Amino acid sequence: MTALDISIEQIWAWLGEVADPEIPVISIVDLGIVRDVRLMDDACLVTITPTYSGCPAMQVIAASVSDALHAHGIEHVRIESRLSPAWTTDWMSEAGKAALKGYGIAPPVQQAIDISGLHAGIRRRAAPAVNCPNCGSPHTQLTSEFGSTPCKALYKCLDCREPFDYFKCH
C-alpha cells in the first residue's frame, strides 16, 4: 500500500488520534502542533512545530506520528519541524480547549500576547483572570507563572480551594 491511495483528510483524521505525550487528553492536531500534511510520491510529509523551544516532547511526538502512520500502512513518513510562524495557543481547537477543561486544566482565556503591542505582557500582575476548571468560580489566584510543564501556570481557586493548572496564552 502506498500513501497515494489515501486522502489528506484521512491522514489528518489519523493524526487527530495521536495524543500529546504530556497532556494525553488532547491530540496533537487539537493542540495545533501539526501544521501541514502532504503526500509526495509514496511518502507522507508531516510538518510539526514546537510549542516551546525547549519542549522535550518534540521527539516523542515525531515518533508517535511515524508510528501512527506506519500502523495505518504508510511506509515512508517524513517529519519536518517548522519554527516560523511560531506556535500559538490561538491555534488550539475548541474541542481541544473543552478536553483540557474536562481534564482539570483551565484552557487559555484570551488571545495570545501581542508582542507588537506596548509590552503589556512584562508588567507585573499581567496574569489574566482565569475561571476554576473544577467549580467554575472566577475567584482564582495565580500561584506561580510556571507549572509542571513550560506551557502551564499554577493557580488556586479561592472558593473550592483546589489548586489547578492553567494553560498559558502563548
Partner 1 sequence: MDAKIQYLLRQGDNAMILSQQLCQLVGKGPALEEDMALSNVALDLLGQTRMWLGYAGELEGKGRDEDRLAFLRDAIEYRNCLLVEQPNGSYADTLTRQFLFDTWHYFLLDGLTRSSDERIRGIALKSVKEVTYHLRRSGDLMVRLGDGSEKSHAMMQTALDELWMYSGEMFLYDEIDQAMVEQSVAPASELLRQQSLDHMADIFQEATLTMPSPDAWMQRGGKQGRHSEHLGFILAEMQFLQRAYPESSW
**Binding region for partner 1 (CB under 8 A):** 50, 52-56, 83-87, 112-113, 115, 119, 121-127, 143-148, 150, 154, 168, 170
Q: Which is nearer to partner 1, 41 or 123 (CB)?
A: 123
Q: Which is nearer to partner 1, 102 or 121 (CB)?
A: 121
- Overall size of the chain counted in residues: 170
Distance CA 32, CA 165 (A): 19
| Residue written as grid cell 479561592 | 158
Is 48 within 8 Å of 34 (Cβ atoms)? yes
CB of 170 to partner 1, least distance (A): 6
CB of 150 to partner 1, least distance (A): 5
What b/e string do you get for 142-167 counting C-beta neighbours within 10 Å, with b at 16 or more? Answer: eeeeebebbbbbbbebeeeeeebbbb
Three-state DSSP state, 133: coil
CB of 42 to partner 1, least distance (A): 29
CB of 168 to partner 1, least distance (A): 7
Is 165 within 8 Å of 147 (Cβ atoms)? yes
CB of 163 to partner 1, least distance (A): 10
Q: Is the peptide bond before 133 cis (omega within 30 degrees of 0)?
A: no
Beta-bridge mates of residue 164:
155
Is 96 within 8 Å of 154 (Cβ atoms)? no
Q: Which is nearer to partner 1, 94 or 123 (CB)?
A: 123
